[in-house]
Amino acid sequence: MQSVTVSRRNGLSGLAPLLAQHTRLAVPAVALAAMVGFSVILQPRVMSYFGLTLLLRYSEPLLFATMAQLCILTVGDVDLSIGPFISLVNCIVSVSATSSPTRCALELIGCVIGYVIMGAFIQVRALPSIVVTLGFSFIWLGFALLTLPTPGGSAPDWLVSMMAFQPPLIPMPILLAVMVAVVGDILLLRTGYGAILRGIGSNATAIQQAGWSLLIGRTVLYGAAGLCGVLSGLTLSGLNTTGDPWVGAQYTLLSIAGAIIGGAEFSGGIVSPIGAVFGAGIMLLSGSLLSFLDISTDWQLSVQGGLLTLVLALRTFSAWGVR
Amino acid sequence: MRSIFLSLVTAAGLMAVTTGSGSQAADASAAKDTSKLGITLSNSYAGNTWRQQMVKVFQAAADEAIGKHIIAKSKVVNADASAPQQSSQIENMILEGWNAIVIDAASPSAINGSIEDACKQGITVVVFDSLATAPCAYQVAYDYVEAGRLPARFIADQLHGKGNVLVVRGLPGTQVDEDEYKGQMEIFGKFPDIKIVGTVNGNWTESIANKEVSGILPSLPKIDAVVGQGGDSVGTYQAFKAAGRPIPVITIGTRQEELALWKDLDQSTPGGYATVASSSVPGVSSIAFWVAQQILAGRQMPHVINVSLLEISKPDLDTWLKVTPVGAVATPVYSRDWTAKLIDSVVDHTPAPASPGPQDAK
């Protein structure tokens, strides 16, 4: 498996990896387009500025959560703590952003540093990320409950009005999705250091022998994930207008599923920021589509899990075909 | 049995619970035609018996209303205890063009944004059970502080103001738990000789209460009473039994297994077993449904409609056990006429109509 991924990255085997790369992106893109199409047929009101804004409003926190997960998946780790982390950011913002902005900013920076420490810990002690991030998820939740024991508080007005901002012509969620996709794509796929970071995920030993610090690489990615988590919490606070220590719970599962459906591999090294944006959209729309079809939402989790399995299965098939 | 039934009906007030007799009151003040409109339920969580029963009662009320051409359509959407997901579902409901959205909220605060969106589109929003605080929504509210005071008062009474009490709390970080705890402490605070010797979180779940109480029991002195929030008492009881300790006064909720436990203890304990059963009931969804219908019909009402808890005392125990299936929660089902009377009482500041008795539960 390892050797296959490496040869793909180096582009040694010519056409085949190129094709695989495109299927990887085409599957979620086609799926998302089909889902939007169905939604519009079922509920024509969707196809308006107002309709799209309502439909996609809650994509923004999910988008950043998926990007945070993407950073972690890049090095072949999994982050089980992103959901509670988003809750923590939501609580901090609703408690102190209005009364003492400086304290709030310092605490949020502290949160990002917390993520950096988590990454360093995993690297230095060579621990499995699944265990460390699970442990940290309870730390985040604990801090969230300490910050805000019961739901309440309020997000600052500037944040709420920023989230309610309606740019001309193109709805805010779409604009933001494009921006995130472009920035992510440039940083991870089109810079030299991005390639190094992806290299840690596919063949850490080679990267280390080439003289790059794995510690720095991993902490950079964990820091970026923390930053995305903070952005996710901020957008969520702006949408909800208040804080709740349990609010983020679902983002752990959704972010993993979104990133994987969008073309990332659990084995690390292979990620696609553009695909992840599609993936986040698919996870969000699966619920809306079921609702428009009048199918009980009890099916939603099964459908989301089924989508994830289906995509992984399809990918295996296409990989065989290419080989 | 028959005499119990009769006295119950008399106590409850026959007029209040019989369908049909109060329809004039409902129609006179709520005259607009709602037969073309749709009322939907957004439920934050459907993973326990209480919520499933709540959804069933809502669907029954909606089916009845559709059958009688009072409304045109209805639908139930569940979220997985996730506030962002519920918000997203509410935004979808706005797109689908519902006239009223009835909400059991995932968070008191986190779905306010989408509720405001719905209100801005002229949609009637009614929240119940787990409330949301958006000011434009109508609230069908339980007073959970009072829900905490009730069992605490009973215990203070039973112990004559002196003894050791173990507190089993609900799910941490929820408003319901905070409120009930506040009510309990308010009562116990008045009795200096009542000592709170331990506090655990039972999360309103038998298995968790069992685990948590078992864990703390070895470190505790003799316990005279356990105050719970309902849904936890069987677990608490089993923990005491397994530890071989005498069974204290345990306040209970209104789930079938809790009522059955009460009956067992009552029969096996010489002199009977005294406790009190009280809880919010899943049938409250039918009140929320009819409140939404009455608002659509043009009824003017305050934004907060208070509902009192179901309290079961020993004489009613057998009747309630008979009508409550195994695994379910004892609950009355509220009719449109009963709800109209409730609204009247809130508007006129008169006492609320008596709760429908077990004979109306199905």
* Any domain includes B41: yes
Q: Return the residue of A nearest to B134 by Cα.
A: A241
Q: In this predicted structure, what is the pLDDT of residue B173? A: 74
If DSSP codes are grouped into helix, strand and coil, which group holds residue B203?
Answer: coil
For the residues B261-284, what does the mean pLDDT come to?
92
What is the DSSP annotation of B223-289?
Answer: --EEE--SS-HHHHHHHHHHTTPPP-EE-B-SBHHHHHHHHHHHHHSTT-----EEE--TTHHHHHH
- Is B125 found in the same domain as B11? yes
* Any domain includes B259: no
Q: What is the pLDDT of residues A142-176, one digit of tens each?
A: 999 999 988 888 889 999 889 888 888 899 999 99
Beta bridge partners of B277: B252, B312
* Any domain includes A126: yes
For the residues B341-347, what does the mean pLDDT come to?
92
Q: How confident is the model at residue A241 (pLDDT cuts 50, 70, 90)?
A: confident
Q: What is the pLDDT of residues B131-153, one digit of tens each?
A: 898 999 999 999 899 999 999 99
- Is B114 found in the same domain as B9? yes
- Is B246 found in the same domain as B204? yes
Q: Are A55 and B77 within 8 A, CB to CB? A: no
Q: Check if the beta carbon of residue A44 is closer than 8 Å to that of residue B95.
A: no
- Is B132 found in the same domain as B174? no
For the residues B114-131, what does the mean pLDDT come to?
93
Q: Shortest CA distance to B230 belongs to which of B278, B185, B263?
A: B278
- Is B21 found in the same domain as B115? yes
Residues A234-272, buried b or exposed e (16+ Cβ, 10 A)?
bbbbbbbbbbbbbbbbbbbbbbbbbbbbbbbbeebbbbb
For the residues B334-361, what does the mean pLDDT come to?
85
* Any domain includes A226: yes
* Any domain includes B215: yes
Given the structure tokens 């004892």, which residue do they identify?
A: B330
Given the structure tokens 């969707």, which residue do they identify?
A: A46
* Any domain includes B261: no
* Any domain includes A41: no
Which pair of structure tokens corresponds to residue A180? 């995130």
Q: In this predicted structure, what is the pLDDT of residue A244? A: 87
- Is B44 found in the same domain as B128? yes
Q: What is the pLDDT of residues A20-32, one digit of tens each?
A: 667 778 888 998 9
* Any domain includes B182: yes
- For residue A77, give its domain range: 57-317
User: What does the CA dihedral B318, B320, B325, B329 come to, rounded to 10 degrees?
Assistant: -130
The distance of B90 to chain A (nearest Cα, Å) reads: 9
Number of inter-chain CB pairs under 8 A, A vs B: 116
- Is B151 found in the same domain as B125? no
Name chain A contacts of B95, Cβ cutoff 8 Å.
43, 45-46, 51, 54-55
| Residue A290: how many other CB atoms lie within 10 Å | 20
For the residues A79-104, what does the mean pLDDT come to?
95
How far is residue B338's CA from residue B22's CA, in Å, rounded to a whole number?
8
Given the structure tokens 């934050």, which residue do they identify?
A: B44
* Any domain includes A16: no
Which pair of structure tokens corresponds to residue B330? 């004892």
Rg (CA), chain A: 20
- Is B117 found in the same domain as B154? no
- Is B120 found in the same domain as B23? yes
* Any domain includes A40: no
- For residue B114, give its domain range: 2-136+280-360
Name chain A contacts of B76, Cβ cutoff 8 Å.
296
Q: In this predicted structure, what is the pLDDT of residue B213? A: 95
| Residue after which a domain boundary falls, among B233, B251, B269 | B251
Q: How confident is the model at residue A304 (pLDDT cuts 50, 70, 90)?
A: confident
How far is residue A162's CA from residue A22's CA, in Å, rounded to a whole number?
36
Q: Please give the C-alpha separations between residue A191 and each of A67, A186, B182, in angstroms, as whole numbers.
A: 17, 7, 57
* Any domain includes B189: yes
Q: Are B92 and A292 within 8 A, CB to CB? A: yes
How far is residue A52's CA from residue A32's CA, in Å, rounded to a whole number?
14
Q: Return the residue of A nearest to B45 by Cα.
A: A298
The number of folded domains in chain B is 2
- Is B21 found in the same domain as B60? yes
Q: Please give the C-alpha separations between residue A206 and each of A3, A17, A123, A264, A303, in angstroms, as whole numbers.
A: 12, 21, 16, 21, 39
Q: In this predicted structure, what is the pLDDT of residue B17? A: 38
Q: In this predicted structure, what is the pLDDT of residue B83? A: 86
Report the residue of A49, A141, A244 to disrupt the B interface, i.e. the one with the largest count of B CBs within 10 Å: A244
For position B164, which CATH number holds?
3.40.50.2300
Which pair of structure tokens corresponds to residue B322? 């008979």
Q: When comparing pLDDT for B198 and A164, which is higher? A: B198
* Any domain includes A225: yes
- Is B181 found in the same domain as B102? no
* Any domain includes A26: no
Q: When comparing pLDDT for B48 and B162, which is higher? A: B162
* Any domain includes A67: yes
Which pair of structure tokens corresponds to residue A212? 């790059």
Q: Are A151 and B111 within 8 A, CB to CB? A: no
The number of folded domains in chain A is 1
Contacts of B21 (CB under 8 A, 6+ apart): B15, B337
Residues in chain A: 323
